[in-house]
Every structure is written in structure tokens, then in C-alpha cells.
């Protein structure tokens, strides 16, 4: 969708909630081809299935505004 400016954080929260609901993690675009010397566990561009119980969203803006929110499944609290 391009640069969402001040709404970027909201889109992060929506993606995190959908990952918890669906068990599907969105992919990391531009992460392939992978450098074999870089041992960072990235999610491939097509995404992957994973049980997500908790997600942390961080948002940063050029004027120094930063925010974080931790979202947890209700099932994770039981």
C-alpha cells in the first residue's frame, strides 16, 4: 500500500491481530535470495503458517514519536 505515514502503526496492529486469528505470518518482502552467511530466521515472501499467541508491534516516526503495543490471544491467557 506504500507509505502510510501516521497510519503505519494501525496497519501493524491489524496485521498482528490477523496473524493471531489465522495462524499465518506475513512474509518479509525483499528477503530473497538469502545470503548463506546471514543466519537470521526470516519469514519467506509467501508467508508461513505458525501458531501466534503474542505479537509485539513497534512504530517509529521521523519526529521522534515511538510507540509499542503487545497483543496476546485470549486463548494464550487461559
**pLDDT computed for residue 76 by the predictor:** 54
**pLDDT computed for residue 4 by the predictor:** 78
Successive 10-residue mean pLDDT values, the chain, 78 residues: 77 94 90 83 90 92 86 78
Nearest to 12 by CA among 56, 66, 62: 56
The answer, as to whether pTM is greater than 0.85, is: no
**pLDDT computed for residue 1 by the predictor:** 58
CA distances from 11 to 33, 43, 44, 70 (A): 26, 18, 20, 14
User: According to CATH, what is the number of the domain 5-77?
Assistant: 3.40.47.10
**pLDDT computed for residue 74 by the predictor:** 87
- Domain positions in the chain: 5-77
**pLDDT computed for residue 73 by the predictor:** 92
Amino acid at each position: 500500500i506504500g507509505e502510510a505515514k501516521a497510519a503505519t502503526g494501525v496497519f501493524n496492529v491489524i496485521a498482528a491481530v490477523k496473524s493471531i486469528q489465522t495462524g499465518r505470518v506475513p512474509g518479509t518482502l525483499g528477503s530473497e535470495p538469502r545470503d548463506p552467511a546471514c543466519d537470521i530466521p526470516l519469514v519467506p515472501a509467501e508467508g508461513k503458517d505458525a501458531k501466534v499467541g503474542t505479537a509485539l508491534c513497534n512504530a517509529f516516526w521521523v519526529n521522534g514519536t515511538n510507540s509499542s503495543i503487545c497483543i496476546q490471544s485470549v486463548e494464550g491467557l487461559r
